[in-house]
């Protein structure tokens, strides 16, 4: 991997914060933010470099060689941003999900919709197999979105496995790790643990995330190296399929009370004009346009950094 010259680590930190904010929201993927901000493949490669070779470099060549091998400055700035974002924004995003749902989803809908265009442009010399993989990705994402919600669980092993599964989803553009936690019934206890600084639960989930990330990132990196177009196509399909889940205007079909909290089990998408008299519609459209435009601003920024 080529060295990055004069890298702005504050920008990386902010990209990490954007990834963390996206990962907190059920329906949006931090992997999507990484992809559209131009750091996705470097992130996978850096994670994959944390291996036995890195440990040997530490032993025989010292910490400096080890740190350079794993792209330590890059990972530190990015994950510090993610951590700060999750800790500081979790409560605020939870409030928005409860009180300004349409506005929040509108922004993310525009963001994710633009990322479909962005990834589509990245697929060169499209072949029929690429379209097939995109359809498979759409079907998988829609299928995950239709799954039912499991009862909340705080068993350590279950939370560990939840963290491992969620982190795999979080690094996949279009598959929401937070939504996987909702399906597993682990979203509320983990979010509460972050709010309450419950270090035992945070450490348990974190350990699961480390194991899941270390293993799955290698598989994903291999597929990108060997079958780049097909991999990008299925990732684009994931993102397209996720659009249904994050459509801002929904009608609740069924709910369930879990620990005195109402959780939506099923909902259906409706048109904005079904919300007659809703003054939020104009604001929601403007936020969607802003989210859509933001992707191309990030793209131009990333291109400037690499030229």
Q: Distance between CA atoms of 300 and 294, rounded to whole angstroms?
A: 10
Structure confidence by residue, pLDDT tens digits, 169-205: 777 776 667 767 776 777 777 877 777 778 888 889 8
Ramachandran bin of 7, using left for φ above 0, alpha for ψ from -120 to 50, beta for the remaining angles: beta
pLDDT confidence of residue 302: 55
Q: Distance between CA atoms of 114 and 20, rounded to whole angstroms?
A: 19
pLDDT confidence of residue 4: 42
Question: Would 299 be classed as within a structural domain?
Answer: yes
Question: Would 3 be classed as within a structural domain?
Answer: no
Rg (CA), the chain: 19
* Residue 259, pLDDT above cutoff 60: no
Element (H, E) at 22: helix 9-24
Please state, in angstroms and as integers, the Cα–Cα distance from residue 283 to each residue in 102, 148, 238, 286, 297, following that order. 9, 31, 27, 5, 21
Question: Would 4 be classed as within a structural domain?
Answer: no
Q: Distance between CA atoms of 118 and 233, rounded to whole angstroms?
A: 12
CA angle 182, 105, 19 (to 5 degrees): 70
pLDDT confidence of residue 221: 83
| Cβ atoms 159, 204 nearer than 8 A | yes
| Cβ atoms 240, 247 nearer than 8 A | no
Q: Which residue has the higher pLDDT, 96 or 2?
A: 96
Question: Would 1 be classed as within a structural domain?
Answer: no
* Residue 132, pLDDT above cutoff 90: yes
Helices 40-48 and 199-226, axial angle in degrees (round to 10):
110
* Residue 29, pLDDT above cutoff 90: no
* Residue 36, pLDDT above cutoff 80: no
Kindly indicate the confidence band of residue 6, based on its pLDDT and cuts at 50, 70 and 90: very low
User: 268: helix, coil or strand?
Assistant: strand
| Average pLDDT for 241-255 | 78
Question: What's the predicted TM-score (pTM) here?
Answer: 0.68
Question: Would 89 be classed as within a structural domain?
Answer: yes
Question: Would 2 be classed as within a structural domain?
Answer: no
Question: Would 152 be classed as within a structural domain?
Answer: yes
Indicate the range of 127-141, 209-223, 247-261 predicted with least confidence.
Answer: 247-261
User: 81: helix, coil or strand?
Assistant: helix
| Cβ atoms 90, 187 nearer than 8 A | no
Q: Distance between CA atoms of 11 and 58, rounded to whole angstroms?
A: 28
Phi then psi for 306, rounded to 5 degrees? Answer: -95, -5
Proportion of the chain above pLDDT 70, given as a percent: 82
Kindly indicate the confidence band of residue 135, based on its pLDDT and cuts at 50, 70 and 90: very high
Strand partners, 248: none
The beta strand positions in 113-260, using DSSP E, are: 250-258
Q: Which residue has the higher pLDDT, 256 or 143?
A: 143
* Residue 230, pLDDT above cutoff 60: yes
Q: Domain range for residue 91?
A: 9-306
pLDDT confidence of residue 145: 67
Per the structure, the count of domains in the chain is 1
Structure confidence by residue, pLDDT tens digits, 78-117: 999 988 887 777 677 777 777 788 888 888 888 778 878 8
Question: Would 43 be classed as within a structural domain?
Answer: yes
């Amino acid at each position: 991997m080529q060295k990055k010259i004069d890298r702005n680590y504050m920008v990386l930190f902010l990209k990490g914060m954007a990834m963390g904010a996206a990962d907190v929201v059920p329906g949006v993927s931090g992997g999507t933010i990484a992809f559209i901000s131009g750091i996705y493949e470097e992130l996978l490669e850096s994670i994959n470099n944390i291996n036995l070779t890195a440990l040997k470099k530490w032993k025989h060549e010292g910490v400096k060689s080890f740190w350079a091998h794993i792209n330590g400055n890059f990972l530190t700035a990015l994950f510090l941003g993610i951590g700060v974002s999750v800790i500081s924004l979790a409560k605020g995003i939870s409030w928005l999900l409860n009180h300004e749902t349409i506005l929040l989803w509108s922004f993310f809908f525009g963001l994710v919709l633009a990322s479909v265009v962005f990834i589509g442009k990245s697929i060169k010399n499209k072949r029929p197999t690429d379209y097939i993989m995109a359809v498979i990705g759409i079907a998988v994402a829609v299928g995950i979105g239709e799954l039912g919600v499991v009862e909340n669980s705080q068993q350590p092993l279950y939370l560990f496995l939840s963290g491992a599964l969620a982190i795999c989803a979080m690094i996949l553009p279009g598959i929401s790790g937070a939504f996987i936690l909702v399906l597993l019934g682990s979203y509320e206890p983990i979010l509460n643990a972050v709010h309450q600084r419950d270090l035992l639960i945070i450490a348990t989930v974190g350990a699961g995330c480390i194991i899941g990330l270390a293993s799955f990132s290698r598989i994903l990196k291999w597929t990108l190296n060997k079958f780049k177009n097909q991999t990008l196509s299925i990732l684009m399909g994931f993102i397209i399929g996720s659009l249904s889940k994050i459509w801002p205007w929904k009608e609740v079909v069924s709910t369930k009370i879990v620990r005195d909290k109402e959780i939506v089990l099923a909902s259906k998408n409706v048109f904005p004009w079904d919300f007659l008299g809703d003054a939020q519609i104009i604001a929601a459209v403007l936020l969607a346009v802003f989210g859509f435009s933001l992707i191309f601003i990030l793209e131009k920024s990333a291109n400037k950094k690499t030229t």
